Structure 1
Amino acid sequence: MGTQSAIDVLDAIEDEDAVVDKIFIAPPVVSLESNEDTGEEDCRGTFNNLSGRQLSAPAVVVLADGRVIGDDDDGDTEEEEEPQQASTSKKRSQKDALDYNWTNSKTRLTIFPDARPLAVPTILPHLVRETIKYAAVTDSNLQLTIGELKRVVGILLLSGYHQLPSRRHYWNTDEDLHCALVAGAMSRNRFEEIIRYIHCADNAHLNSSDRMTKLRPMMDILNARFGEAYPMDCNLDLDEAMIEYFGRHGCKQAIRNKPVRFGFKAWCLNSGTNGFLLHFDIYQGASVDASEVERKFGKGGGTLLRLLDNLPDAVRALPLRIYIDNYFTGLPLVAELRRRGYAYQKAMKRKPRGAVSVVYDTAYKIALTRWKDNAVVTIASTLAAEHPLQKVSRWSRQEKKKVAVDHPFVVQLYNRSMGGTDRADQSIGLYRINMRRKKWWWPIFTWMLDAAVFSAWVLHRLGAAPAG
């Protein structure tokens, strides 16, 4: 679409007996390139006394009867107009020879534009297939669709923030208990039937050496999905998350000073920046046959290396920075992470008090930094040491006021990126699914649903919606 100059448009409307509704005159074409501000000469002239440059500028007139003058839609091609445009405007440079497709759509760009569609299977079709298979083995003619399973999962998630004494109360007709959203989505008997038979694995093909074999297929699918949807953060921290369980099971743990003291312990590899769950596994106890890696680096070190080995190639190719706490002790693990190309940071507590001091290992480039705070903290790292030192405010008992003390850079990095797992565990605990069953694997199953929702929420906050 082209336009005529203002003087041509004025001539055209003078020859016609028409009422002018609107006149659009574009800014004059700049004939001289300059970095200086425009002067008063660029805005001179009134409607009845336009300057020469304004008269030669593109213009369009809209008449009262709807006709448009100056909209050159007479079949001229863009190739015919290019020589005229080249004479009045600057030619496009070689660096800007791209064809843009601008839009005012509010669709957000993904964090990683080159991401491919997720190739791993989705969890809902797998659960539908295994649930129907398990129901058939138990002589039940259960038929289940993905839509019904979505409603079941939705009811489970709703119980995390709309809690009632028992799941049957959601269909109670009393005014103080009735939940119209749940009752309108599915009947109570249908919901009870589905969660009675819901299953994650085929009982005919269970691995007797794996205590999590009933959940392993779902765990593998979720880990693969998390890996492909990971927002490519280089900071990772490994820590445990407790899944509440009060029954009897060989993998049950009891840990003091935890919000959840009794239950299953899940090793979680999270983003240190936003808490996105990248990979997880359930701790099965020391009685499980130890691999060669665990015998060499210990249970904690072997777990870390195993989780790193299971990451997608795209994630392992990143310059990862691994942050772990004092459970994962041992300098051989630090040396192994250095050999694999990962930057590593581990905190270890020591009783002696002292100032900031650093020792270096030249063979594996490991720095041991000891810092005097309220307690003495020793950090092993292949990433940083004490410099650059900054100041941090601490209370002084002697001076009865806050004073500034040196703060090593390696401690700053550790404090900044170590809380990813705790952040995810806190968010999951706020809206944990509140419907219980007597199956031992049910708490882990609902925790995985909560973890998936949390990771999806993190992607939503980052502006990247997971594909599929």
Structure 2
Amino acid sequence: MGTQSAMEVFDAIEDEDAVVDKIFIAPPVVSFESDEDTGEEDCGGMFNNLSGRQLSAPAVVVLTDGRVIGDDDDGDTEEEEEPQQASTSKKRSQKDALDYNWTNSKTRLTKFPDARPLAVPTILTIKYAAVTDSNFQLTIGELKRVVGILLLSDYHQLPSRRHYWNTDEDLHCALVAGAMSRNRLEEIIRYIHCADNTRQNSSNRMTKLRPMMDILNARFGEAYPMDCNLDLDEPVRFGYKAWCLNSGTNGFLLHFDIYQGASVDASEVECKFGKGGGTLLRLLDNLPDAVRALPLRIYIDNYFTGLPLVAELRRRGYACTGTIQENRIPRSCPITDQKAMKRKPRGAVSVVYDTANKIALTRWKDNAVVTIASTLAAEHPLQKVSRWSRQEKKKVAVDQPFVVQLYNRSMGGTDRADQSIELYRINMRRKKWWWPIFTWMLDAGHGRLQCMGAAPAG
């Protein structure tokens, strides 16, 4: 299936008898002209008010029944099919060039290497400039007040930003009105830019926000609490999609990037490990030395997991645990077939080891069959979990592999961060296509503080 534009995808939705679960839209092609569109500024950014450039950008729609409309790279999206439901008749991946040595022996998995010495983090500074209007001047203090007003709209929400200056008792906000006039806020928001328009990289659709993204990623890396557990996921449910590396313990956002659509000229690492695997390795390469020196334990879902990627992470000194699709398991692997596992009682476990690459594949029968690839753990020590038995009409204890418990414990970091952002999301909109990403980045920094237990900004 070729890449489809947002307009084509939205037209296709009208012909589908299904409910939309998620919509992802890629940033538009870089333009050196204005990003503004006609229409009321305060009502931009909604689904039915997208610009022409946004409607021509690639888009993907995921329906609640699992169907996907539009192109999502190599088609191995997590929404297309859960790993326990994947068909064994699917074509096996041609990217897998590993040599395997499978065994059922309960050999111990590899140990982690010692961490390298910590490096001193780099201190960066931020410089703001406005060059559109020769008469326009801006101070750091004013910019901070603008950011403060945006963050205030997280939880003090009004129908539009002009209402904060309304003199009616039920609308007026003295805190905002006393900090800045409405006209001054509108002027600053109109001219605010994160990059020099004369020095844009036309091959990078995020060039307008890249300087701010780099600064935030550097700050996140400096403040990271050095948790060894990381999970990678996609938190944006509607609109643009972000790849986020978060602490699996408290949800702290460590590093992120924005999905830009299918790559026309895929890099060598993407050709070898796929779009998801290539993205993960690129994010890891961009981490500060102090974080990369940690014995990281990385948790991923079946969009990313492939045995070559798991082996590559182990080669780099990291452990990896992730659910894996059936079509990414080599035919030579002697793990119990999914159909045979479905006939077994709940709690049944099948484990095989690849001693050549130190990978354990653990298949477990719960309500459905789940398969996890890991260089960290397998079934032992077996845990007991409570499940409702329809036959016995009561809850019963069933066996659960330790790797499943480990995965469930550490895979929710991105979801936790996303929940923190959703609690207090900036409520002031604009018609610039990059504005929702800009405000999401401010919210991400704010949500990071909430993950650390801090109170929301007041």
Q: Which protein shows a greater Rg?
A: 1
Deviation readout 1:321-379 (Å, 9 max, x if unpaired)? 00000111321111111111110x99999999882010000011100001110011000
Change (3 A) 1:31 1:86: farther
Deviation readout 1:408-466 (Å, 9 max, x if unpaired)? 110011000000000001110111100000000100000001111xxxxxx68758999
Change (3 A) 1:153 1:121: farther
**Distance in 2, Cα, partners of 1:100 & 1:50:** 49
Change (3 A) 1:364 1:194: same
Offset of 1:214 from its aligned partner? 0.2
Q: Is the 8 A contact 2:73 2:261 kept in 1?
A: no
**Distance in 2, Cα, partners of 1:283 & 1:200:** 18
CA RMSD of aligned residues (A): 32.5
**Distance in 2, Cα, partners of 1:17 & 1:350:** 33
Q: Per the alignment, in what secondary structure is the counterpart of residue 378 of structure 2?
A: coil
Q: Is the 8 A contact 2:85 2:369 kept in 1?
A: no
**Distance in 2, Cα, partners of 1:10 & 1:291:** 30
**Structure 2 equivalent of residue 243 of structure 1:** none
Offset of 1:99 from its aligned partner? 59
Change (3 A) 1:296 1:434: same
Offset of 1:96 from its aligned partner? 58
Offset of 1:68 from its aligned partner? 86
**Distance in 2, Cα, partners of 1:112 & 1:335:** 14
**Distance in 2, Cα, partners of 1:26 & 1:261:** 13
**101-110 or 31-40: which moved more?**
31-40
Q: Is the 8 A contact 1:111 1:463 kept in 2?
A: no
Offset of 1:288 from its aligned partner? 4.1
Offset of 1:75 from its aligned partner? 84
**30-39 or 401-410: which moved more?**
30-39
Match for 2:354 among 358, 361, 379? 361
Q: Per the alignment, in what secondary structure is the counterpart of residue 98 of structure 1?
A: coil
Q: Per the alignment, in what secondary structure is the counterpart of residue 256 of structure 2?
A: strand
Q: Is the 8 A contact 1:349 1:377 kept in 2?
A: no
Q: Is the 8 A contact 1:347 1:379 kept in 2?
A: no
**Structure 2 equivalent of residue 249 of structure 1:** none
**390-399 or 50-59: which moved more?**
50-59
Offset of 1:72 from its aligned partner? 82
**Distance in 2, Cα, partners of 1:417 & 1:173:** 49
**Distance in 1, Cα, partners of 2:65 & 2:304:** 81
Q: Is the 8 A contact 1:227 1:311 kept in 2?
A: yes
Q: Is the 8 A contact 2:359 2:375 kept in 1?
A: yes
**51-60 or 96-105: which moved more?**
51-60
**Aligned-residue identity in percent:** 94
Q: Point out 4+ residue stretches in structure 1 off by more than 6 angstroms.
A: 1-123, 131-135, 345-354, 463-468
**Structure 2 equivalent of residue 144 of structure 1:** 138
Change (3 A) 1:140 1:388: same
Q: Is the 8 A contact 2:28 2:54 kept in 1?
A: yes
Change (3 A) 1:175 1:376: same
**Distance in 2, Cα, partners of 1:12 & 1:332:** 36
**Structure 2 equivalent of residue 248 of structure 1:** none
Change (3 A) 1:95 1:465: farther
1:12 aligns with 2:12: yes
Change (3 A) 1:338 1:465: farther
Q: Is the 8 A contact 1:109 1:464 kept in 2?
A: no
Change (3 A) 1:91 1:181: same
Q: Per the alignment, in what secondary structure is the counterpart of residue 339 of structure 2?
A: strand
Q: Is the 8 A contact 1:108 1:463 kept in 2?
A: no
Change (3 A) 1:104 1:464: farther
Change (3 A) 1:347 1:323: farther
**Distance in 1, Cα, partners of 2:112 & 2:39:** 45
Q: Per the alignment, in what secondary structure is the counterpart of residue 367 of structure 2?
A: coil
Offset of 1:287 from its aligned partner? 3.5
Tell me which of the two structures has the higher relative contact order, counting C-alpha pairs closer than 8 angstroms and 6 or more residues apart: 2
Structure 2-normalised TM-score?
A: 0.64
For structure 1, the residue ranges without an aligned partner over 5 or more in a row are 124-130, 240-257, 453-458
Count of matched residue positions in the alignment of Structure 1 and Structure 2: 436
Change (3 A) 1:99 1:122: farther
**Distance in 2, Cα, partners of 1:330 & 1:22:** 24
Offset of 1:263 from its aligned partner? 0.4
Deviation readout 1:36-57 (Å, 9 max, x if unpaired)? 9999999999999999999999
Offset of 1:17 from its aligned partner? 104
**9-18 or 101-110: which moved more?**
9-18
**Distance in 2, Cα, partners of 1:66 & 1:260:** 17
Deviation readout 1:262-309 (Å, 9 max, x if unpaired)? 300000000000000000000001144211000000000000000001
Change (3 A) 1:229 1:109: farther
Change (3 A) 1:213 1:107: farther
Q: Is the 8 A contact 1:20 1:64 kept in 2?
A: yes
Q: Per the alignment, in what secondary structure is the counterpart of residue 48 of structure 1?
A: helix
Q: Is the 8 A contact 2:2 2:71 kept in 1?
A: yes
Deviation readout 1:124-153 (Å, 9 max, x if unpaired)? xxxxxxx99998643341111111111110
**323-332 or 210-219: which moved more?**
323-332
Deviation readout 1:229-261 (Å, 9 max, x if unpaired)? 10000000000xxxxxxxxxxxxxxxxxx9964
Q: Is the 8 A contact 2:245 2:414 kept in 1?
A: yes
Q: Is the 8 A contact 2:84 2:368 kept in 1?
A: no
Structure 1-normalised TM-score?
A: 0.63
**Distance in 1, Cα, partners of 2:88 & 2:305:** 72
Change (3 A) 1:197 1:393: same
Q: Per the alignment, in what secondary structure is the counterpart of residue 181 of structure 1?
A: helix
Deviation readout 1:211-236 (Å, 9 max, x if unpaired)? 00000000011111111110000000
Q: Per the alignment, in what secondary structure is the counterpart of residue 241 of structure 2?
A: strand
Change (3 A) 1:218 1:120: farther
Offset of 1:70 from its aligned partner? 88
**Distance in 2, Cα, partners of 1:430 & 1:370:** 36
Change (3 A) 1:309 1:346: farther
Q: Is the 8 A contact 1:349 1:376 kept in 2?
A: yes
**Distance in 2, Cα, partners of 1:3 & 1:192:** 37
**Structure 1 equivalent of residue 393 of structure 2:** 400
**Distance in 2, Cα, partners of 1:467 & 1:23:** 30
Change (3 A) 1:93 1:342: closer
